[in-house]
Amino acid sequence: MLTEEKLDDILGTKKFIIIIKGVGKMYDLDRAPIGIYEKALPSSFSWEEKLMAAKEAGFDYLEISIDETDEKLARLDWSTQEREDLKKLISSTGVMIPSMCLSGHRRFPFGSKNVDTRKKAFDIMKKAIKLSVDLGIRTIQLAAYDVYYEEEDETTKALFIEGMEKSIAMASKAGVMLALEIMDTKFISTILRAMPYVTRFNSPWFKIYPDLGNLSAWSSDVESELELGITHTVAIHVKETKPGVFKEVPFGEGIVKFSSIFKKLKQLNYQGPFLIEMWADNNKVISKEEATRDIYNARLFVQRKMIEGGMDNAKRA
């Protein structure tokens, strides 16, 4: 019987005070890797503070965000020294950054009918691939929008396909994986809608990156969706949602049936990374201890659901 005390030992709950003093483990290949989204931590934190908070909360890695804001897009133009500084922090903290959430294409989509916007989309893609190579990022999660702020039609879809084809060619040469996120809009809102693109390009460097929250909001049969795309799934976003609400829903207050989903992933023998996607409230002043506690509690919630689904490799010593 799985008692609270036994669960505490499995999850590492009783070890939190030790963990926050900096005694963290390196990436353990014998357990399911669980990462945290950069935006789960306050934007005011330095990179060292973000990486240390992730480590102290027991995460294996952190996913960097390159969103549509000028601040985040500017990262694509980091100097050699700025890139080296982050690499040194990755090394000193032992917290990897193996993936990038590239949502900058929401503002500058490949499907735009504006030529300058499309040129910017390609510029973002090329620079994101180069940044990935420099930082050791292996997977770029793509925001799967043909357009977001414009009306979509057959032309925008055709332009999106053209953009993906050229992007895959660039990423392939760099050995960087491109993975379509299952999104919060209808265009690619399910794995069923994503698979024609995966099949069309038939590239080992172009796969899918499902978001359990978005998938649960759009599909009535999440388990079948996951089975459809399992051989092309390179990572999974773990997020809570409600009908029509795709962000900032606290874990346990939404519609995602985590235990049954993890049970299905166990049956499908999924062994890849899980990335907890959540957002810090940047309108509040949050201490490092509070931020660390918030993401730590999220990890505990997700691990409990993974263990309930039979994923024993989610256990922490």
φ, ψ (nearest 5 deg) of residue 163? -65, -40
For 7-28, the pLDDT digits (tens) are 455 555 544 433 333 333 456 8
**In 3D, which of 192, 112, 180, 123 has the Cα closest to residue 152?**
112
Q: Tell me the Cα Rg of the chain.
A: 19
* Distance separating alpha carbons of residues 301 and 288, to the nearest angstrom: 20
Q: Which of 3-17, 84-98, 296-310 has the lowest mean pLDDT?
A: 3-17
C-alpha distances (whole Å) from 215 to each of 152, 211, 219, 249, 284 are 21, 6, 6, 15, 30
**Arithmetic mean of pLDDT over the chain:** 91
Domain that holds residue 304: 4-314
CATH number at residue 238: 3.20.20.150
For 160-205, the pLDDT digits (tens) are 999 999 999 999 999 999 999 987 778 888 999 999 999 999 999 9
pLDDT of 40 reads: 97
Given a cut of 80, is residue 32 above it in pLDDT? Answer: yes
* Distance separating alpha carbons of residues 299 and 201, to the nearest angstrom: 35
* Percent share of the chain, pLDDT over 90: 80
Report the 3 state secondary structure along 46-65. Answer: CHHHHHHHHHHCCCCEEEEE
Q: Structural domain tally of the chain?
A: 1
* Percent share of the chain, pLDDT over 70: 91
* Distance separating alpha carbons of residues 316 and 8, to the nearest angstrom: 10
Given a cut of 70, is residue 210 above it in pLDDT? Answer: yes
Q: Which of 7-21, 53-67, 95-109, 285-299 has the lowest mean pLDDT?
A: 7-21
pLDDT of 72 reads: 98
φ, ψ (nearest 5 deg) of residue 195? -60, -35
Q: Any alpha helices (H) in the chain, and if so which ranges?
A: 4-11, 16-19, 47-56, 70-73, 80-93, 115-135, 154-174, 191-201, 212-218, 222-229, 258-267, 288-308
